[in-house]
Amino acid sequence: MTDPSHGQMETRERTLLRRWAVPVLLAGCWLGAVAVGLVALMDYDNSPGPPAEAPAIWPADSDIPRDPTGPTLVMLAHPRCDCTRASIGELAELMARAPQRPRAYVVFIKPGSAGPAWEHTSLWDEAARIPDVTVLRDDHGREAARFRTQTSGQTLLYGADGRLLFAGGTTGARGKAGNNAGRATLLAWLTGERPQATATPVFGCSLFGPADEVPEHDSAHHES
């Protein structure tokens, strides 16, 4: 003879399973999406931008004054790239620790289509507060083109003789401050050492968006 209580228990179990199946499935999908998003974010953070093809000799047509008696450092930056905030922070750390401070510039690109004071963001203000750093505006990205730079945060160090010593970034990932190969290599050069590394990856946004490109006639003029 069938026990009615046993059938009722099975019915309750099936009801509970149906009730929780959808929430459990949705929770699993959500966790999977979060995991995929975190992996994608980590991949993005650790993906460097295109490196500069910086000229081996300081470009003669640059309007940036080079120091003929010591090293000159140039960081090319986009004023609206959040990743570059960490690069500027690392530059401040470098300038504070370097026994031989270079003549240093942070050069912010300003596209021709941008309005007045477009480049004067909080990044500009942070760079301007670093002792012994000069902040410049790069109209139409002409200096970026002269130094063949594509990624915000790209840092170049030239010697007193105008020869390129280092080209790279000052962070180890996008927007991440802390010890990294780029800052360590720059510090070694400014300490009087001769490190083997002359280049490191640079992590940042593109200097040029679709509407920010240097006009073709300007680019041709500056390469001649």
What pLDDT digit, counting tens, does each position of 71-108 carry? Answer: 999 999 999 999 999 999 999 999 999 999 999 999 99
* Per-residue pLDDT at 178 exceeds 80: yes
* CB 185 within 8 Å of CB 200: yes
Higher-pLDDT residue of 200 and 3 is 200
Among candidate residues 186, 208, 198, 190, the one with its CA nearest the CA of residue 90: 186
Locate 187 and state its tokens. Answer: 């510090």
**What are the sequence ranges of the domains in the chain?**
1-45, 72-223
The three-class DSSP label of residue 75 is strand
Ranges 21-25, 78-82, 163-167, 177-181: which has the least confidence: 21-25
Q: What is the CATH number of domain 72-223?
A: 3.40.30.10
Its sign, for the CA torsion 182, 186, 187, 188, is positive
Predicted confidence (pLDDT) at residue 139 exceeds the cutoff of 70: yes
For residue 105, what pLDDT is reported? 98
Are 126 and 91 spatial neighbours (Cβ–Cβ below 8 Å)? no
Ranges assigned E (strand) in the chain: 72-77, 103-110, 133-139, 154-158, 164-168
Q: Assess contact for 215 and 125: CB atoms under 8 A.
A: no
Pairing of strands 72-77, 154-158: antiparallel
166, 186 contact by CB (below 8 A): yes
Say how many C-beta atoms besides its own lie within 10 A of residue 5's C-beta: 8
Longest dimension (CA), the chain: 104
